[in-house]
């Protein structure tokens, strides 16, 4: 007997989701992830402040160092994936910086006042 709304023999919804959004699941960060992110933002915002993305990544990587996702991957893969999705949608450098930093206050000892002082209200 299959679950309501599923087709017998069809892959589970979770595996379907993993195929649709592969960069969020089961992957360690690669050296060129940040380069790819910046390249995407540059294509959509050629005059944008790309340095803020590099600074945000450096802070996020430092603050999340040693943290793992439930899958065992380094935690930084999550903010990178979120940032890449937003970059693919055409959002600008400040939104991308916010995506990279979105869990730092909640999940690390990084204070919101420090985040605001470093990146401004729009990113914080």
pLDDT (0 to 100) of residue 91? 98
Burial class (CB in 10 A: 0-12, 13-18, 19+), 79: buried
Query: Pick the catalytic residue: 107, 114, 121, 122?
Result: 107
Count of positions (residues) in the chain: 124
Annotated catalytic residue 62: no
**Cα 42 from Cα 40, distance rounded (Å):** 5
Dihedral angle sign, alpha carbons of residues 17, 23, 24, 25: positive
Q: Which helix (H) or strand (E) holds 76?
A: none
Residue-wise pLDDT for 102-124, tens only, equals: 999 999 999 999 999 999 999 99
Residue-wise pLDDT for 34-79, tens only, equals: 999 999 999 999 999 999 999 999 999 999 999 998 888 899 999 9
Helix (H, G, I), strand (E, B) or coil at 25: coil
Annotated catalytic residue 106: yes
According to DSSP, residue 109 is labeled S
Q: What is the dihedral of CA 23, 25, 28, 29, to 10 degrees?
A: 30
Query: Pick the catalytic residue: 62, 106, 114, 122?
Result: 106
Domains and CATH numbers, the chain: 31-119 (1.10.3210.10)
């Amino acid at each position: 007997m299959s679950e309501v709304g599923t087709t017998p023999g069809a892959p589970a919804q979770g595996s379907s989701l993993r195929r649709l959004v592969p960069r969020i699941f089961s992957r360690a960060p690669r050296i060129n992830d940040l380069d790819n992110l910046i390249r995407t933002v540059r294509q959509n915002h050629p005059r944008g402040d790309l340095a803020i993305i590099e600074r945000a990544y450096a802070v996020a990587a430092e603050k999340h160092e040693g943290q793992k996702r439930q899958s065992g991957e380094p935690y930084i893969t999550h903010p990178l994936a979120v940032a890449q999705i937003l970059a693919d949608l055409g959002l600008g450098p400040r939104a991308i910086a916010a995506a990279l930093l979105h869990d730092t206050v909640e999940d690390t000892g990084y204070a919101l006042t420090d985040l605001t002082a470093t990146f401004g209200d729009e990113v914080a």
